[in-house]
Structure 1
Amino acid sequence: MLAAVPPVYGLYSSFYPVLLYTFFGTSRHISIGTFAVISLMIGSVAVREAPDSMFYVPPANGSNASAVLDVEARDARRVQVAVVLTTLVGVIQFVLGLLRFGFVAIYLTEPLVRGFTTAASVHVVISQLKYLLGVRTQRFSGPLSAIYSVKAVLCDITSTNVSTLILGLACFVFLFAIKDLNERFKKRLPIPIPGEIIVVIVSTGVSYGMSLSEDYKVDVVGKIPTGLLPPTAPEFSLLPGLVADSFAVAVVGFSMGISLAKTFALKHGYSVDGNQELIALGLCNFISSFFQTFAITCSMSRSLVQESTGGKTQIAGLLGSLLVLLVVVAVGFVFQPLPQTALAAIIMVNLLGMFKQFRDIPTLWRNSRIELAIWLVAFAASVLLGLDYGLLAAIAFAILTVVYRTQSPESAILGHVPGTGLYCDVDQYEEAAEYDGIKIFLYNSSIYFANSELYVNALKKKTGVNPETLQAARKAQKKQRGKANGNPRAPLKVVSPEERGVTHEVLSYDNAEKEQGNGRLGDRLSEPVSEEAVFLEPLGHVHSIVLDWTPVSFMDSVGAKAIKQVGPCVLDPGLGVR
């Protein structure tokens, strides 16, 4: 339903990939198979590439009767699109795994993923409204598809099938109650109550016994082919238009899988290999696509159920896939009367937990406004632009926040905390005291092209030293002294360090302890000082600037040039920078 393909293809996707992951995966607890977010992304692509408008057949006799939708041709085309997309996803994941690109998941920061999955849940719920109400509306894809879908449902709400709505609401309330009971009494229950299985069995029985499809026009699953399909090659002519979408599905699918796999690995004391997980998912998607499956990843709800029922290896997943095989080859026809509204209720109830992620907003507001902005942009962009463009917009915004943070880091003047080896921000710590005539400047970022000018400006502002003004004053001082001696080129009178009261070296705390025992400045010269530096008296009260580059992890050529250009100015006679 979410992937816009007949339900039996969901069964195929729950069999082949699970079987393959048993041999190639490294996680012992995650449950591989269909997942709502990935299914919805595939469905949006399938609807875009094979919209209903392509498959309306005009009346054969040329009458004025309305055109008829060829459902079989439409579904066949959408299956082709989903299969080709899955093939591409598998290739991308496999190649990235071979190239050791398992680290790409770190660019999907947690606020981004949670905002994105919350938006995906909104899309899923909106897509299920028509099944819950029993109305027939067009399926939309692309930007503003969520708004168009809601509008279509509201415009057709007067056509609601009351029987469908009552059955759907009954299933929804029952599942919600079972979920609440499982949560409250999970320590007392040996296994969770299988509410979904109960709903499927009971609703199928009621639908069959009361002939809901024939007598009450309730939409049901319909024909489920018996047996497995033979392997066939994907329709590769569709490849060019699906490359961008396949990248989005590949990255989201991997990030979902690896994040959950790492969570279980940490909980149970083992490790997972991100690169091998990429290879495993790639093989699962690529090989399975030849058997008419669509892209898969892990499901949080199924994984939690598998863990809570005692599953400790992928043998549990293998057993589950064998049960799916039994349904496909033997008892699939039993579920043909299953009402679609019951499936919609199951999907919507299982997504309620995703909406709890809205609680992130007040937490992020208190802790990090930038991460809150990432969450909100990921959510809003994915709801309004669609999941594919929304994800790209969210990633781009997250990268921009990294640039912003490096452009606007904190800078401070440090002072020594007496009796310790600590140097702290003098604006935040009252006990931190500066040394006379010395400014210790800290900049909490690396220095590169995007912030090199900002670094220089922050240095000027914090230290109170303007290199250009200082250099001009030095020239005026030289000129004045030259005139006073009657010769502009005459050497200046030597002023000893003692007479000037200037220290030419800042000792580190450890060295200062060794030299004087109190961490204060020494009065000796540790390196030769130019003759001009001795001749000239210092301008202002600052005679030395210490640049603390502890947080600087790298510096590019632009940053180095900026420091080099500042150097001749601030390294003027009488002012030292270390």
Structure 2
Amino acid sequence: MDECFHENDYHVSRRIYSNRVFDQVHERQAQEIQSLRERLSRACRCTDKWAVQKIKGLLPILDWLPKYPVKQWLPGDVVSGVTTGLVCCLQGVAYALLASVAPVYGLYSAFFPILTYFVLGTSRHISVGPFPVTCLMVGSVVLTLAPDEHFLRPVNITGVNETAREAQRILVACTMTLLVGLFQVAMGLMQVGFLVRYLSDPLVGGFTTAAAFHVFISQIKTIVSVPIHNHNGFFSFAYTVIASAISHVMDLNSQYGASIVHSLPRGFALPQIPNIALTGNILGSSFSTAVVGYAVAVSVAKVHAAKHDYTVDGNQELIAFGVSNIFGGCFSSFVASTALSRTAVQESTGGKSQIAGIISALMVMIVILALGPFLQPLQKSVLAGIVIANLKGMFMQISEVPVLWRQNRTDCLIWIATCLASIVLGLDVGLLAGLVFEMGTVVVRTQFPSCATLGNVPNTNIYKNMKDYKNIDEIPGIKIFKCNSPIYFANIDYFKEKLREEVGFDAVRVFKKRNKALKKIHKLIKKGKLQATENGLVPVASLGVENQAFEKEQVPELEEGASQLDSEVKVQVDWTSELPVSVSVPTVHFHSLVVDFSAVSFLDVVAAKSLKLVVKEFIRIGVSVYIAGCDGELVRRMEALSFFDEEVTRDILFLSVHDAILFIQLETSTGNDEDPLAEKDMVNILPVFM
């Protein structure tokens, strides 16, 4: 050992720990396993404090409203609420075009969901209401189940029965909205909000960009009727007022045939019961819409929560949006989520809480009750312009592709694949295809994990990939193999293949070749051509022929007599030297194999069985196998999978690679008949210098 220390060096002196010794010394505690009855009893136990927490968790307004700082937050919330309310009105009317329903229902969709989210939601900044992507998904279902062809007038009357068509279309939209809400509430109650984490940012980015493309295409036919310029944000309200006035004064509808809103009746529609008979046709679309709407909303909510230092409860958000959609579906609304641009307006204009949201709902209510008719002459091309202008943020996501390519090509491929699939196959199937592709990349990355042979930095307990560094050494007689992935049924064969590559031989083939050589050696001994001595195998001098000549002789009793000879004659063969028979036996240059499991998080049944077989294969050819770096949970999993037996014992487990290496070196120096870890107090054994 080098006794020259640098000022940043430190010296470690401790006992060598196998898992067995460590558990004994530090008194490993048995994991408490509760029965189902005990767990249910504990979960159903109710105290006053627990009840208050649950009620506040279900109704977050009871927690934040009593603490609301009126003087500090109310002025900003009022300004933000008024501004956001104007944007809500315009977007609600415009997004109704995407949902293929009358514009007034867009106003309802910008009003009713806010009321319930105000009570149940946990985000202080998102603006709840229509979102272009979910509106388009609703619209595609509406047009499928209620196309114009179903409402043609009799032969002698031309045109479409618009009254019946609009009634059926809003019925389809409301039924789908109710079903979306039920899905979201069910997922929230089952605490499965974490499933949305599988919708990664690249997948959502590619999907929303494709959705923006679909929205843009759907609005071209509307927007080209009258040439206009797109405006976004708060100024779109002033532009819309001017456009409405020009359309009314110049009578563009009758003079030039420009399509206008026509009807925005005052007041609210009566509640209606959705058509349950439609659920079978919209079940799949409703589930995908529920997932997309929630995923977008919770993503935006978490961005603003991180910015303003508070937390968002994902499961409670599912319940909040679910109840909002159920409530809205009963009052002629379509699916609610959040629009990125509308939320940005609410946050940037000073909004601090959902008080701004409820004020924006009051602004929408004023339009519904009083100002709706003033928007009736508004051209639909203007509304289409508003829709397209609000797609700017989604289209700008295309700029992320080159960045993703440089950072992580797999994530970039997920973005591109999801986008193309959603454009070509449609939003529902495209989202599913993108999700399958994303899961496939995860499987591929774990199915073909990186594996390496480790070497030691001299005089340290540091072990690194030998291909990455020059000044590291392979420990003589010991091979260290590391796998950087969980090991399960899909990658266990790859694990064994990489292990064979790194060690340089196949343990099964070595065993078979050695058996073949031993049988031939036994034949030669039986014929008197070889003699087994303490110094090894010695050829009989009087033989006068080469050993190879006897390889071709056929001995019928070979298979029956091999075991008998093995018991009668103890043959010591040095497998590293030249053999007296012409059998090519792969050379094994090490006596111990250490497998680093520090990066292995779990094993399944198939992997445990295969790994146990691999360990026994190495033991059969005289190579001791040690597993290092397993955490407690992985060890418990191995025990549950019956990994250990009389041959493969828990003594092969060590806390670290260095513990295993020191044990092997100590065992080699003291002999295999003694237990190195049982000597004295086992302290100051092979100190480590770094």
TM-score strictly above 0.5: yes
What is residue 160 of structure 1 aligned with on the other side? Answer: none
Q: Which residue number corresponds to residue 556 of structure 2? A: none
Q: For residue 68 of structure 1, give the secondary structure of its aligned residue in structure 2.
A: coil
In 1: Cα distance, 2:406 partner to 2:502 partner: 28
Give the secondary-structure state (helix, strand or coil) at the position aligned to 2:444: helix
Q: Which has the larger Rg?
A: 2
RMSD (Å) for aligned C-alpha atoms: 2.1
**4+ residue stretches of structure 1 with deviation over 3 A?**
476-495, 532-539
The residue type equivalent to 1:60 in the other structure is N
Query: Structure 2 matches for 1:546-565, cutoff 5 A?
Result: 546-565=594-613
Question: CA distance change for structure 1 residues 281 and 491 in 2, over 3 Å: closer, same or farther?
Answer: farther
Deviations 1:477-504 (A, max 9, x none): 4335545655999988489xxxxxxxxx
Offset at 1:431?
A: 2.3
1:470–1:569 Cα contact (<8 Å) kept = no
Q: 2:493 and 2:317 mapped to 1: Cα distance?
A: 43
Structure 2 residue 290 is the aligned partner of structure 1 residue 250: yes
8 Å CA contact 1:234, 1:290 repeated in 2: yes
Distance in 1 separating the partners of 2:195 and 2:439: 13
Q: Which residue of 1 aligns with 2:7?
A: none
Quick check: 2:532–2:572 contact (8 Å CA) kept in 1?
no
Counterpart residue number, 1:468: 508
CA distance in 1, matches of 2:460, 2:287: 53
Q: Distance in 1 between matches of 2:432 and 2:220?
A: 27
Residues 533, 573 of structure 1: 8 Å contact kept: no
Query: What corresponds to 1:415 in structure 2?
Result: 455
Structure 1 residues 42 and 472, CA, compared in 2 at 3 Å: closer, same or farther? same
Q: Is the 8 A contact 1:21 1:32 kept in 2?
A: yes
Q: Where do residues 241-280 of structure 1 align in structure 2 (5 Å cutoff)?
A: 241-280=281-320
The reply on whether 1:11 has 2:51 as its aligned counterpart is no
In the comparison of the two structures, how many residue pairs are matched?
486
1:68-109 Cα shifts (integer Å, max 9, x gaps): 222222222111111000000000100110110110111101
Paired position in structure 2 for 1:81? 172
Give the Cα–Cα distance (whole angstroms) in 2 for the partners of residues 107 and 285 of structure 1. Answer: 23
TM-score of the superposed pair, with normalisation by structure 2: 0.68
Pairing of 1:21-40 with structure 2 (within 5 A): 21-40=117-136
Amino acid at match of 1:4: S
* Structure 2 counterpart of 1:127: 218
Q: 1:438 to 1:19 in 2, by over 3 A?
A: same
One of 470, 490, 499 as aligned partner of 1:450: 490
Give, in angstroms, the shift of residue 351 of structure 1: 0.8
> 1:247: Cα distance to partner?
0.5
Matched residue, 2:37: none
Matching residue within 358, 377, 385 for 1:337: 377
SS at match of 1:395: helix
Task: Note the residue ranges of structure 2 that are not aligned, 5 or more in a row.
Answer: 1-96, 537-569, 577-586, 627-690
**Does structure 1 retain, via aligned residues, the 8 Å contact 2:510–2:621?**
no
- For 2:278 and 2:512, the matched residues in 1 are separated by 69
SS in 1 for 2:487: coil
- Distance in 1 between the 2:425 and 2:532 partners? 73
Matched, 1:542 2:590: yes
* 2-structure distance, mates of 1:72, 1:533: 99
Asked whether 1:60 is paired with 2:160, we answer: no
Q: Counterpart of 1:229 in 2: which secondary structure?
A: coil
What is the deviation of 1:308? Answer: 0.8
Matched residue, 1:347:
387
Q: In structure 1, how many angstroms separate the alpha carbons of the residues matched to 2:472 and 2:294?
A: 48
Q: How does 1:171-570 map to 2 (within 5 A)?
A: 171-172=229-230, 175=231, 194-479=234-519, 482=522, 486=526, 493=534, 537=575, 539-570=587-618
Other structure's SS at 1:5 match = coil
Give the whole-Å Cα distance in 2 for the aligned partners of 1:270 and 1:102: 18
CA distance in 1, matches of 2:280, 2:532: 77
Letter in 2 for 1:120: A
CA–CA separation in structure 1 for the residues paired with 2:247 and 2:619: 87
Gaps of 5+ in 1: 62-66, 135-163, 180-192, 496-531
With over 3 angstroms needed to count, the CA separation of the structure-2 counterparts of 1:339 and 1:226, relative to structure 1, is same
Q: CA deviation at 1:474?
A: 2.2
Residue 118 of structure 1 pairs with residue 166 of structure 2: no
Q: CA deviation at 1:473?
A: 2.8
C-alpha contact 1:409 1:444 (8 A) present in aligned 2: yes
Letter in structure 1 aligned against 2:436: A
Q: Matches of 2:533 and 2:133 in 1, distance apart?
A: 78
2:216/2:388 contact within 8 Å kept: yes
Tell me which residue corresponds to 1:512. Answer: none
1:264–1:487 Cα change, 3 Å = farther
CA distance in 2, matches of 1:428, 1:222: 72
Q: Distance in 2 between matches of 1:547 and 1:463?
A: 11
Contact kept in structure 1, 2:511 and 2:621, CA below 8 Å: no
Do the aligned residues in 1 keep the contact of 2:507 with 2:621 (CA within 8 Å)?
no
Code of the aligned partner of 1:546: V
Q: Is the 8 A contact 1:492 1:536 kept in 2?
A: no
TM-score, structure 1 normalization: 0.81
Which amino acid is 2:115 matched to? L
Q: Distance in 2 between matches of 1:75 and 1:342?
A: 21
Instruction: State the AA in 2 paired with 1:52.
Output: D
